[in-house]
């Protein structure tokens, strides 16, 4: 991926161990691990993308690209979900993870650049799916009941592609009960998940409790060909 420039900022791939260490430190603040570690086996398989300005990291994500569905077994999501139902998928799949931004908040153009970089990677890799694990802060599922209820009611994916249960501690989305105030329920979703859903994305029928990161996450999938045309066009303008 060639760098993308906008308003004094640049989205680019990390180069070398020193830059990766800097990004891991940035990432660790967003995803504090109860055992103090952050680097994992997926890092060696991933491209690491940063948005920076004047040497300061403003946003980060990592991405793995698999040639077809069977490759997902080597990804991060496969640690927690049985991704076998997607193993016959014939096109490349991009798995995005650890998306985070500077804790003090960022200008909207930072997010546009990050998504522009992701769009370029997806297009260059000819990926048909963009998948990942999208996290709610806090492992206690009851605190996220409103958002989980909305996901259960409107956003669970097609049965033939849904990942199965694999993790030791899971919560069925149907445990959340009925949807109350839809607007409040939508606001209760993590911003990244709202972005995925706005692109036509779907989620698993259960969430996974991650005690190490103190999060609750759902498997998330965006079918690239089904992204609304206006949204796809705006992303590709940024991606160049």
Strand partners, 21: none
How do residues 72-129 score in pLDDT, each as one tens digit?
999 999 999 999 999 999 999 999 999 999 987 677 889 999 999 999 999 999 999 9
In this prediction, residue 107 carries a pLDDT of 78
> Looking at the predicted structure, is the pLDDT value of residue 36 above 80?
no
The model's confidence at residue 39, banded by pLDDT at 50, 70 and 90, is confident
How do residues 186-213 score in pLDDT, each as one tens digit?
999 999 999 999 999 999 999 999 999 9
How do residues 40-66 score in pLDDT, each as one tens digit?
889 999 999 999 999 999 999 999 999
pTM of the model as a whole: 0.94
């Amino acid at each position: 991926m060639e760098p993308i420039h906008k308003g004094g900022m640049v989205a680019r791939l990390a180069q070398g161990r020193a830059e990766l260490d800097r990004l891991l430190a940035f990432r660790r603040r967003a995803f504090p691990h109860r055992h103090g570690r952050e680097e994992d086996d997926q890092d060696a398989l991933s491209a690491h993308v940063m948005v920076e300005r004047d040497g300061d990291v403003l946003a980060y994500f990592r991405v793995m690209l698999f040639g077809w569905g069977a490759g997902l077994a080597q990804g991060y999501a496969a640690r927690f979900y049985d991704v076998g139902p997607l193993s016959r998928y014939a096109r490349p799949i991009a798995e995005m993870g650890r998306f985070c931004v500077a804790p003090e908040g960022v200008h909207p153009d930072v997010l546009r650049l990050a998504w522009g970089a992701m769009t370029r990677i997806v297009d260059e890799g000819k990926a048909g799916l963009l998948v990942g694990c999208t996290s709610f802060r806090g492992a206690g599922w009851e605190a996220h009941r409103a958002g989980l209820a909305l996901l259960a009611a409107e956003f669970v994916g097609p049965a033939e592609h849904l990942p199965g249960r694999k993790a030791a501690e899971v919560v069925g989305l149907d445990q959340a009960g009925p949807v109350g105030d839809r607007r409040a329920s939508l606001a209760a979703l993590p911003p990244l998940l709202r972005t995925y859903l706005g692109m036509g994305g779907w989620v698993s029928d259960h969430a996974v409790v991650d005690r190490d990161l103190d999060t609750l996450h759902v498997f998330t999938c965006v079918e690239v060909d089904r992204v609304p045309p206006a949204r796809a066009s705006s992303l590709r303008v940024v991606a160049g």
